Structure 1
Amino acid sequence: MNWGVIGTGNMGSVLIDAWLTNGVIEEDELWIHNRTLTKAFDIKEKYKDVNVCTTPEKVVRNADIIFVCVKPLQIMPLLNELKSHLNADQCIISITSPISVTELEGAVPCQVGRIIPSITNRAGQGATLLTFSENMDKTMRAYLKQSCRLFSVPIEIDESITRVSSDIVSCGPAFLSYLIQALIQAANDYADLDKEKGMLFAEEMIVGFGKLIEEGHYTLATLQEKVTVKGGVTGAGLKVFDEELGNIFYHLLEATHGKYYEDRDKVSKQL
C-alpha cells in the first residue's frame, strides 16, 4: 500500500522517520505534502525516493492511507477540499484529539481512524493510541495495527479517554524533559553543578531508567521502592514531593483539557 502524509511538521516528520527507519513502508511508497514545500523537500533530502507532492490532492490521488498531520482547525477545511478525490477503499488517519472519529467519518467518503503518536516512536519505542471507526474494514484495521507494531506499542483506546491518554503518551516526554531540566538548573543554582555535566548525568539516567522498565526488571512503583532506602537521602527528597507537588498534575490536566475544549468549540463551528 502507498501511504501519504499531509503536514510534515514536528509529528508528521517524526512519523515519517519512524516508518522509514523501522521498515514499515519503502521510501517510494510514501507521498508527502506540506503547505511550506521546502519542509517536504527537506525530508526528500534525507529519503531520496520519497514522493513530494505540490498539492494535498496529489497525495490523495496516489496514497491508500493518508495521515493528516495539520493543526486541528485546519483539518475540516482540508477534508472539505479533499473529499471529492477520496474513495471508499482509502483511509484517512488523524493524529489529533479535538475532532472525533465519528466527525471524521461524517466529513469524508472513506474509512477513518485516529492514531496519536509519540516522539518516542522515532526510536521505535513508546505507545501509539489507536481509535478506529466501527465501519473500518477488518483487514484495514489489522493492517494498521500491525504496521504500528513495527515502530511502537499500539494500544486501542475508547474515544472518551483520548485527551488524558495523549497527555501521558504524547505530551509526557515534553513534561518530563521540563522537570528534569528544572532539576539540573536547581543543581546548578544550589551546588554550582556544571549544567552540561548535569545534562549528561540526566540523559544517561533516563536511558538506564528506560532499560530497567523495558527489560522488566522493575515497574515504576518497584523501581522507586528499590532506590528509596529507609531513612536515606532519596526518601528525604520524596518527602519534598509529597509536601510541595500538591495538585500540580491535576492543574496540568486542567490546562491541557482547557485547550482541548477551546479547540473543540472552534471545530464545532466549522462542522
Structure 2
Amino acid sequence: MKWGIIGTGNMGTILAEAWLESGMIDQEDLYITNRTMEKAYAIQKHYPNIHVCENAASIAEKTDLVFICVKPLDIHPLLIKLEPTLSKQQCLVSITSPYAVEDLEKLVPCQVARLVPSITNRALSGVALLTFGDSVEPVMKGYLTQSCKVFSRPVEIKDSITRVSSDIVSCGPAFFSYLIQRFIQAACEETEITEEEATIMMTEMMIGFGKLIEDGHYSLRTLQEKVCVKGGVTGEGIAVLEREVGNMFNLLFHRTHHKYAKDKREIREQEMG
C-alpha cells in the first residue's frame, strides 16, 4: 500500500511523522508534496527514503491512499484537477472538517473518508476522528481504522458532531495550552515564583495528571474529589473557578461553530461558482 500526502503543513507533517515513527509504514511507501516544495524537502531530510513529488497529480498517480491536507477553499480546485487521475480502487482522505464526506464523494470517483488528527498524535497518543463515505469498502475502512490505532485511539463519528469533536480533539491542546500559560502568568504576577520554576512545576504536574487518568487511577471527577479536601485550600480555588469560568466554554463553542458555518458557506459558494 502506497501512501500520499498533499500538503505538508502542520497536520500533514504530524501525520507523516506519526506513521513513520510508529512503524506503520516504511519510508519507501510514503509520497509527499507541498505548494512550497522546501517544506516537503525539509521532511525528507529527516526521512531520506520517502519520495517528494513535484505536484499533486503525481501523488494521485502513484499512491493508493491520498491524504488531502490543504486549506478548505483549496480543496475544490485541487480535486477538479485530480478527478481524471483517481480510480475507484483508491481512497481519498481529507483532514478538513468543513467538507462532509458526501460532498467530497460528488467530486471524485474514488472511495472517500475524513480523518481529523490531533497534534497529540505526534506522541503516538490522543484521538483521531474518522468519518467514512458510503463508497468506502469494508476492507479499506478496516485498514484505515487499524492504521490509526498505531498512533491514536480512532473514534468514528457522524458528521453532525464533527465540529465539537474537532474542538475537543484537534483544537483542545491549543485551548488548554493557553489556559496553562495564563495560570503560570498569574502565579508569577501574584507571588515571587519565577516563570521557569512555575513552568517546570506545571509541566510535570500535567504529565502526572495525564498518567493518572491514562492508568485508570481516577476519573476526572474522582481526581478532583480526591484533591479537594473539604474546608481546604483547593476548595477555595475551586470556588473561584466555579464563580469566574461561568459560560466561557459555551461561548468558545459558539465561536468555533460560527466559524465552521462560515467555512461551509464559503465552500458552497465556491462550488456554485
Same fold (TM > 0.5):
yes
Task: Write out per-residue CA displacement over residues 178-230 of structure 1, whole angstroms, 9 at most, x where no aligned residue.
Answer: 00000000001100321111111111111111111111111111111111111
Equivalent residue number for residue 54 of structure 1: 54
Gaps in structure 1 of 5+ consecutive residues: none
Question: Aligned AA for 1:20?
Answer: L
Task: Write out per-residue CA displacement over residues 205-261 of structure 1, whole angstroms, 9 at most, x where no aligned residue.
Answer: 111111111111111111111111111111111111111111100100111111111
Is residue 2:159 matched to residue 1:174? no
Equivalent residue number for residue 35 of structure 1: 35
Is residue 2:190 matched to residue 1:190? yes
Whether contact under 8 Å (2:131, 2:158) holds in the other structure is: yes
What is the 5 A alignment of 1:135-214? 135-214=135-214
Question: Aligned AA for 2:52?
Answer: V
Equivalent residue number for residue 118 of structure 1: 118
SS at 2:130's partner residue? Answer: strand
Counterpart CA distance in 2 for 1:240 and 1:8 is 43
Shift of 1:152: 0.3
Counterpart CA distance in 2 for 1:34 and 1:213 is 38
Counterpart CA distance in 1 for 2:83 and 2:221 is 48
Counterpart CA distance in 1 for 2:90 and 2:46 is 27
Whether contact under 8 Å (2:17, 2:122) holds in the other structure is: yes
Shift of 1:264: 0.7
Gaps in structure 2 of 5+ consecutive residues: none
SS at 1:8's partner residue? Answer: coil
Q: CA RMSD in A?
A: 0.7
Equivalent residue number for residue 244 of structure 2: 244
Equivalent residue number for residue 217 of structure 1: 217
Equivalent residue number for residue 93 of structure 1: 93
SS at 2:83's partner residue? Answer: helix
Moved over 6 A (4+): none
SS at 2:96's partner residue? Answer: coil
Shift of 1:85: 0.6
What is the 5 A alignment of 1:65-84? 65-84=65-84
Is residue 2:16 matched to residue 1:16? yes
Whether contact under 8 Å (2:110, 2:135) holds in the other structure is: no
Counterpart CA distance in 2 for 1:17 and 1:23 is 10
SS at 1:17's partner residue? Answer: helix
Percent identical = 53
Question: Aligned AA for 2:37?
Answer: L
Counterpart CA distance in 2 for 1:201 and 1:74 is 42
Counterpart CA distance in 2 for 1:235 and 1:6 is 50
Shift of 1:18: 0.6
Is residue 2:64 matched to residue 1:64? yes
Shift of 1:135: 2.1
TM-score for the superposition, normalised by structure 2: 0.98
Question: Aligned AA for 2:258?
Answer: G
Question: Aligned AA for 1:220?
Answer: L
TM-score for the superposition, normalised by structure 1: 0.99
Whether contact under 8 Å (2:188, 2:195) holds in the other structure is: yes
Shift of 1:24: 1.1
Question: Aligned AA for 1:140?
Answer: M
Counterpart CA distance in 1 for 2:119 and 2:252 is 20
SS at 1:99's partner residue? Answer: coil
Counterpart CA distance in 2 for 1:114 and 1:85 is 20
